[in-house]
């Protein structure tokens, strides 16, 4: 069965289950969903906010999906995102350059920061066969505590201890024409970076010799060795790219959606990225679609909560159920096959 | 005569192919019934239907005269049908008994595992059928042959009356094959009935009473094994006459292509796997390496191809030292390698056929330009190999290799390696697990390479294959070269002695 059909079915089941939940708690599901969708798409500002919310999810989802396609399980997108965001912020706060030079430099710093953060687990895997799930999670905490120390020590905010200084407008991804177009939304250049990255990654994975190599190593290390592909180099490179993409998520989040970096928080988008990749069947365009959908749910739930007395947790529950169905898509597939078999058996009996 | 199992008019269709088309198989009580067919002929599908893994689209199955519907393997098990799979399904750190009772554990007081009673029964069964298995041995400590007996015991423990053996000898040594055949004879003596899935005619001749031949999903016929010759059965299976002898003219060896000088290699356990090994392979000849499995053959091949590092010694290709080069550099300097384990080394199973065809050349012109793959060129190249090497698959170049039969996977690898036109072609177990038709074809291709003036190094555990194909035979024992003989001047006895490590001079003097 087609992957996109599977994902759509998972979404459908998730929404149905959410409707049942709303009914059980004595609410009107039609009204609930109406406000949920309106909250995300009602006017240009809300659409812009939905896109902005989706931006880091697109990138973390893409990071996880890319690693997965090359046989690696990147649980560390959160840490890579945090480090990427931190590096970009640090550049933005430290350098006084014209915007045309500063922004590219910040994006580059974010990419490199996230990439280097992921290279460590990649190297450990290639050299010592340390499983990346363990090492990427540990890197998450190292990132967490590093930022926890460095921000108050060197980039302390003017009023609050737990935040960095505010970035100057010059060093942020927001563009006034863009905000104007979306009537005051906080949508920013990060969204375009995300879409561009999706296109680049899709091209890289499907059309280039590099993508061929990385996927071959992911599928079968031994055959890749036999073919003369540098297996260790490929693993490190895969993690480098995956980490870099997650780093870009940090750039979009901390220098676009927000204007400062907080300490003591691992960005939740890092973990949501796993769900986004799963629902998007690890395909770049699938990731884009599923991240936009998640963005809609996240940005619409506040409005739903304001207009009805449905708790916002319902939206989280729907997301959880969708992930559940996406993860168990094999069950759905089996169910459909059984139904089809039964139907053809009935037909035969009629003959 | 009543039949224990009757499968009549079975048809099973998969998207794109009819795997079974009106197949009939009748198994008498107390017989060994061979099911013979090429890879992809539909043997496995038919047996999966009998074992409840697939449902037939049409046809009836009767067990002991009663029509049944086998909806899943548990139903098959209840009907007394057991299957010994080609790839064993055992838990390595568990003991024999623990593996056997897995899924139908004997209990005390409803929840405590009672291994002792079970072990006793395992021992009794083992004795009764001459299996000689220690019920308390751990699976990881016993040989492959013994593990297979555990699989057989599993079936007997569940009172199976009909045992299906799926290519049981593929993983066994000649001695173990003989033992297995005796066990099968014991089983039928005790009233069990056996279906033996195979494409090895020698084995059918050795144990089977009757044989049903299928080809391309259709029953060709059921014959009495005693009254039918090997050639007749082969012809039924393939649909044309088959020669078991390889046709080839005298070789005209030229310059040495591969020169190995006192090569020493340590294996993963840091033990010398190859000791001061010296060998040349010249252009226009096939040199066969004969030896019992695990005597240094794999290390030799992996060191030549660059997958393993040599301790000392030199390897020269066309006069150039290559021992410092990477795998890719060696590939490019003219080595082709048909690896021992096609699924582990030779193919990326989740890639399509065309993606596998470019496994070593994906980064070369014209298959890619400036780092971008050229799908049209790749497709054309793959289609040409598919055509000239007769690789059959569901959807041509776009088929995922995992879905292809073993024989066609192997043909794809051979096509890929031969088309790269290497000066030295290393073929390791090139026909393992393949049917007669494919074997004949692959042998012809290897000889063709030789006749084109290429050097061929053949490593095989099948002595017949080494003797048939090679011009010279190098015998390896415990990592040492025992001696080199001309294939035309030797015989099985001499090679057998050498393989056991007895040097030629000692043997003849």
3-state secondary structure B189-246: HCCCEEEEEECCHHHHHHHCCEEEEEECCEEEEEEEHHHCCHHHHHHHHHCCCCCCCC
- Alpha-carbon distance of B471 to B383, in angstroms, equals 33
Strand intervals (E) in B81-225: 81-84, 107-108, 112-113, 162-166, 193-198, 210-215, 218-224
Strand bridging mode B256-266 / B66-68:
unpaired
Report pLDDT for A330.
65
| H or E element, residue B459 | strand B455-459
CA angle B88, B94, B97 (to 5 degrees): 85
Nearest-neighbour CA in chain A from B359: distance (Å): 6
CATH of domain B243-334+424-509: 3.40.50.300
Decide if pLDDT at B89 tops 50.
yes
Compute CA A139 distance to the chain's CA centroid, rounded to the nearest angstrom: 18
CA distance linking residue B431 with residue B491, whole number of Å: 21
Residues 354-373 of B with CB under 8 A from A: 355, 359-360, 362-363, 368, 371-373
B66-68/B112-113 β-pairing: unpaired
B473-488 pLDDT, tens digit per residue, is 999 988 999 999 999 8
Residues 6+ apart with CB under 8 A from B497: B507
Q: Is B348 in Cβ contact with A220 (below 8 Å)?
A: yes
Which of A208, A216, A229 is opposite residue B351, by nearest beta carbon?
A: A216
DSSP reduced 3-state for A4: helix
For residue B147, the surrounding DSSP H or E stretch is helix B144-157
A128 touches chain B (CB under 8 A): no
Q: What is the mean pLDDT of residues B247-263?
A: 89
Helices (H), chain A: 3-24, 29-41, 44-69, 77-94, 99-128, 132-154, 176-181, 190-207, 209-219, 221-227, 231-252, 269-279, 284-307, 313-327, 329-350
pLDDT, tens digit, 9 for 90 and up, residues B352-402: 999 999 999 999 989 999 999 999 999 999 999 999 888 888 888 999 998
d(CA B166, CA B48): 10
> When comparing pLDDT for B495 and A204, which is higher?
A204
| CA distance to partner chain A, nearest, from residue B282 (Å) | 24
**Is residue B53 less than 8 Å (CB to CB) from chain A?**
no
Question: Which H or E run contains B148?
Answer: helix B144-157
Residue A344 has pLDDT above 60, yes or no: yes
Place of tokens 């094959």: B177
* pLDDT given for residue B507 in this prediction: 43
Q: For residue B13, which residues of chain A lie inside 8 Å, CB to CB?
A: none
Task: Tell me how crowded residue B505 is: count the other CB atoms within 10 A of its CB.
Answer: 8
Cβ separation B307–A210 shorter than 8 A: no
CB atoms under 10 Å from CB of B202, counted, come to 11
Chain A residues within 8 A of B359 when measuring between CB atoms: 216, 223, 226-227
pLDDT tens digits along A74-108: 999 999 999 999 999 999 999 999 999 999 999 99
**In a mutagenesis test of the B interface, which of A209, A231, A237 is the best target, namely the one with the most B β-carbons within 10 Å?**
A209
Residue B171 has a pLDDT of: 67
pLDDT, residue B243, reads 67
pLDDT for residue A302 is more than 80? yes
Indicate whether B47 pLDDT > 50: yes
Which residues are CB-neighbours of A220 under 8 A, at least 6 positions away? Answer: B344, B347, B348, B349, B350
For residue B420, give the nearest of B337, B300, B324, B317 by alpha carbon: B337
CB atoms within 10 A of CB B321: 12
Residue B431 has what pLDDT? Answer: 86
- Closest by Cα among B13, B2, B4, B8 to B23: B8
What confidence tier does B322 reach under pLDDT thresholds 50, 70, 90?
A: very high
Q: Which residues of B touch A222 (CB under 8 A)?
A: 341, 344-345
Residue percentage of chain A with pLDDT more than 70: 97
Q: How far is B50 from B62, CA to CA, in rounded Å? A: 10
Helices then strands, each counted (H, E), chain B: 17, 24
Residue from B302, B359, B417 to probe the interface with A (highest A Cβ count within 10 Å): B359
The beta-carbon neighbor of B351 closest among A207, A219, A229 is A219
Of B330, B348, B368, the CB nearest to A219: B348
The CA distance from A216 to B27, in Å, is 45
Query: Could you tell me whether strands B162-166 and B193-198 are parallel, antiparallel, or unpaired per DSSP bridges?
Result: parallel
Q: Report the pLDDT averaged over residues A126-135.
A: 94
Q: How far apart are CA B285 and CA B297, in angstroms?
A: 19
Counting the structural domains of chain A, the total is 1
Q: Does A138 fall in a domain? A: yes
Residue indicated by tokens 């794999």: B298
Task: Give a yes or no: residue A291 inside a domain.
Answer: yes
| CATH classification for the domain delimited by B3-238, as one of 3.90.1150.10, 3.40.1030.10, 3.40.50.300, 3.20.20.70 | 3.40.50.300
Q: From residue B194, how far is each of A246, B46, B162, B171 by CA, in Å? A: 59, 15, 6, 19
Interface of A with B in 219-248 (CB under 8 A): 219-220, 222-229
DSSP A305-335: HHHSS--THHHHHHHHHHHHHHHTHHHHHHH
Domain that holds residue A96: 28-308
Inspect the interface and report whether the beta carbons of A228 and B331 lie closer than 8 Å: yes
Angle of CA points A336, A339, A342, to nearest 5°: 150
B491 within 8 A of B499, measured Cβ to Cβ: no
Residue B172: the pLDDT is 72
Whether residue A347 lies within 8 A of chain B, CB to CB, comes out as no
- The whole-angstrom separation of Cα B166 and Cα B163 is 10
Verdict on whether the full-model pTM lies above 0.90: no
pLDDT, residue B509, reads 38
For position B505, what pLDDT does the model report?
Answer: 57
Q: Which of B4-18, B348-362, B407-421 has the lowest mean pLDDT?
A: B4-18
* Partners of B166 in the β-ladder: B197
- Give the per-residue pLDDT at A212: 96
Q: Tell me, yes or no, whether A57 lies in a domain.
A: yes
The count of CB pairs under 8 A between chains A and B is 67
Test B307 with A225 for CB contact under 8 angstroms.
yes
Identify whether the C-beta of residue B430 lies closer than 8 Å to the C-beta of residue B410.
yes
The answer to whether the Cβ–Cβ distance between A209 and B350 falls below 8 Å is: no
Judged against a pLDDT cut of 60, whether residue A241 lies above it is answered with yes
Q: How far apart are CA B180 and CA B190, in angstroms?
A: 15
pLDDT at A41 over 60: yes
Q: B380 to chain A nearest CA, in Å?
A: 17
Q: What is the CATH number of the domain that holds A140?
A: 1.10.3470
Interface test with B, best of A1, A204, A212 (most B CBs within 10 A): A212
- Residue among B404, B306, B427, B308 nearest B355 (CA): B404
d(CA B418, CA B275): 30
Judge whether A320 is closer than 8 Å to chain B, CB to CB: no
pLDDT given at position B508? 43
Q: How far apart are CA B419 and CA A119, in angstroms?
A: 38
Angle, alpha carbons B105-B108-B111 (nearest 5°): 70
Place of tokens 């993409």: A245
Distance from CA of A334 to the nearest CA of B (A): 14
Check: CB of residue A74 under 8 Å from CB of residue A64. yes
Enumerate the residues of chain A whose CB falls inside 8 A of the CB of residue B368.
208-209
A219: chain B residues, CB-CB within 8 Å: 348-351
Mutate to test the interface with A, among B339, B348, B354, B360 (most CBs of A within 10 A): B348
Query: What HEC string does A233-285 produce?
Result: HHHHHHHHHHHHHHHHHHHHHHHHHCCCCECCCCCCHHHHHHHHHHHCCCCHH
A135 closest CA partner among A37, A237, A239, A32: A239
Give the three-state DSSP class for A173.
coil
CA B89, B91, B96, B97 torsion: positive or negative? negative
- Contact at CB, B351 and A225, closer than 8 angstroms: no
**Tens-digit pLDDT profile for residues A151-203:** 999 998 887 888 999 999 999 999 989 999 999 899 999 999 999 999 999 99
Min distance B111 CA to chain A CA atoms (Å): 31
Flag if A220 and B350 touch (Cβ within 8 Å): yes
Summarize pLDDT for B275-309 with one digit per residue, the tens: 999 999 999 999 999 987 778 999 999 999 999 99
- Please report whether residue A322 resides in a domain: no
C-alpha angle with apex B412: B411 to B417, nearest 5 degrees?
Answer: 95
- Supply the Cα-derived Rg of chain A in whole angstroms: 22
Q: Would you kindly state where each structural domain of chain B is located, as residue ranges?
A: 3-238, 243-334+424-509, 343-421
**B346–A226 C-beta distance less than 8 A:** yes
Mean pLDDT along residues A20-38: 90
Taking the CA of residue A235 and the nearest CA in chain B, the distance in Å comes to 16
- Is A226–B348 a contact, with Cβ atoms under 8 angstroms apart? no
Q: Is there a contact between B360 and A220 if contact means CB atoms under 8 Å apart?
A: no
Question: Domain for residue A19, yes or no?
Answer: no
- Contact predicate B36/B214, CB 8 Å: yes
The answer to whether the Cβ–Cβ distance between A220 and B363 falls below 8 Å is: no
Closest approach of chain A CAs to the CA of B228, in angstroms? 41
Q: What pLDDT was estimated at residue A253?
A: 96
Looking at residue B164, the DSSP 8-state letter turns out to be E
Confidence of residue A148 (pLDDT cuts 50, 70, 90): very high
- pLDDT for residue B438 is more than 90: no
Partners of A228 on chain B (C-beta within 8 Å) are 306, 326-331, 360
Inter-chain contact A219–B350, Cβ cutoff 8 Å? Answer: yes
């Amino acid at each position: 069965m087609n992957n996109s059909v599977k994902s759509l079915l998972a979404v459908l089941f998730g929404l149905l289950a959410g409707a049942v939940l709303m009914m059980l708690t004595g609410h009107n599901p039609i009204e609930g969903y109406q406000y949920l969708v309106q909250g995300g798409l009602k006017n240009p500002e809300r659409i812009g906010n939905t896109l902005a919310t989706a931006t880091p999810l697109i990138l973390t989802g893409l990071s996880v999906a890319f690693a997965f396609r090359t046989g690696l399980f990147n649980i560390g997108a959160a840490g890579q995102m945090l480090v990427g965001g931190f590096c970009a912020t640090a550049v933005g706060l430290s350098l006084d350059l014209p915007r045309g030079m500063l922004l590219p430099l910040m994006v580059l710093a974010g990419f490199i920061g996230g990439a280097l953060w992921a290279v460590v687990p990649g190297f450990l895997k290639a050299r010592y066969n340390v499983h990346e799930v363990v090492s990427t999670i540990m890197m998450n905490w190292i990132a967490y505590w590093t930022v926890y120390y460095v921000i108050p020590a060197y980039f302390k905010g003017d009023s609050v201890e737990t935040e960095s200084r505010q970035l100057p407008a010059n060093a942020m991804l927001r563009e006034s024409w863009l905000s104007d177009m979306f009537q005051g939304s906080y949508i920013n250049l990060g969204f375009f970076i995300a879409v561009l990255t999706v296109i680049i990654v899709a091209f890289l994975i499907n059309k280039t010799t590099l993508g061929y190599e990385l996927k071959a190593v992911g599928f079968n290390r031994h055959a890749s060795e036999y073919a003369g592909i540098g297996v260790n180099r490929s693993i490190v490179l895969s993690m480098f790219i995956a980490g870099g993409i997650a780093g870009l998520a940090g750039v979009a989040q901390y220098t676009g959606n927000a204007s400062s970096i907080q300490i003591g928080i691992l960005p939740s988008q890092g973990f949501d990225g796993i769900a986004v990749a799963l629902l998007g069947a690890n395909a770049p365009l699938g990731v884009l679609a599923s991240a936009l959908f998640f963005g809609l749910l996240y940005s619409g739930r506040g409005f739903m909560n304001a207009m009805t007395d449905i708790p916002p947790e319902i939206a989280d529950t729907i997301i959880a159920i969708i992930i559940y169905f996406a993860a168990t898509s094999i069950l759905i597939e089996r169910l459909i096959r059984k139904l089809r078999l039964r139907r053809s058996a009935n037909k035969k009996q009629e003959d | 005569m009543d039949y224990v199992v009757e499968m009549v008019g079975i048809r099973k269709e998969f998207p794109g192919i009819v795997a079974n088309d009106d197949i009939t198989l009748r198994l008498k009580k107390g017989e060994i019934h061979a099911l013979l067919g090429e890879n992809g002929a539909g043997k496995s599908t038919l047996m999966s239907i009998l074992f409840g893994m697939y449902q037939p689209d049409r046809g009836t199955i009767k067990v002991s005269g009663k029509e049944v519907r086998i909806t899943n393997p548990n139903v098959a098990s209840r009907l007394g049908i057991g299957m010994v799979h080609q790839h064993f399904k055992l838990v390595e750190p568990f003991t024999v008994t623990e593996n056997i009772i897995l899924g139908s554990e004997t209990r005390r007081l409803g929840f405590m595992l009672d291994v002792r009673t079970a072990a006793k029964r395992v021992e009794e069964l083992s004795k009764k059928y001459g299996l000689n298995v220690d019920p308390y041995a751990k699976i990881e400590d016993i040989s492959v042959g013994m593990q297979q007996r555990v699989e057989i015991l599993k079936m007997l423990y569940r009172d199976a009356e009909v045992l299906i053996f799926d290519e049981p000898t593929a993983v066994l040594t000649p001695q173990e094959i003989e033992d297995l055949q005796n066990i099968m004879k014991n089983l039928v003596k005790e009233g069990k009935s056996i279906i033996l899935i195979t494409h090895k005619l020698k084995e059918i001749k050795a144990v089977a009473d009757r044989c049903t031949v299928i080809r391309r999903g259709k029953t060709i016929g059921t014959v009495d094994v005693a009254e039918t010759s090997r050639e007749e059965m082969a012809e039924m299976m393939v649909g044309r006459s088959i020669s078991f002898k390889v046709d080839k003219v005298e070789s005209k060896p030229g310059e040495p292509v591969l020169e190995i000088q006192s090569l020493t290699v340590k294996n993963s356990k840091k033990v010398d796997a190859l000791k001061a090994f010296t060998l040349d392979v010249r252009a226009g000849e096939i040199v066969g390496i004969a030896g019992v499995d695990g005597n240094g053959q794999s290390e030799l091949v992996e060191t030549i191809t660059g997958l393993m590092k040599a301790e000392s010694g030199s390897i020269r290709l066309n006069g150039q030292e290559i021992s410092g080069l990477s795998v890719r550099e060696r590939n490019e300097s003219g080595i082709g390698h048909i690896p021992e384990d096609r699924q582990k080394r030779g193919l990326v199973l989740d890639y399509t056929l065309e993606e596998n065809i470019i496994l070593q050349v994906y980064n070369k012109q014209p298959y890619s330009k400036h780092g971008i793959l050229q799908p049209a060129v790749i497709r054309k190249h793959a289609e040409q190999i598919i055509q000239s090497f007769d690789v059959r698959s569901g959807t041509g170049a776009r088929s995922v290799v995992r879905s292809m039969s073993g024989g066609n996977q192997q043909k794809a690898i051979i096509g890929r390696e031969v088309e790269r036109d290497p000066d030295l072609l290393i073929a390791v177990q090139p026909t393992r697990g393949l049917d007669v038709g494919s074997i004949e074809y692959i042998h012809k291709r290897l000889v063709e390479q030789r006749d084109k003036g290429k050097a061929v190094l053949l490593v095989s555990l099948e002595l017949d294959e080494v003797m048939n194909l090679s011009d010279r035979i190098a015998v390896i024992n415990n990592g040492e070269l025992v001696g080199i003989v001309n294939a035309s001047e030797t015989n099985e006895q001499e090679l057998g002695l050498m393989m056991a490590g007895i040097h030629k001079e000692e043997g003849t003097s």
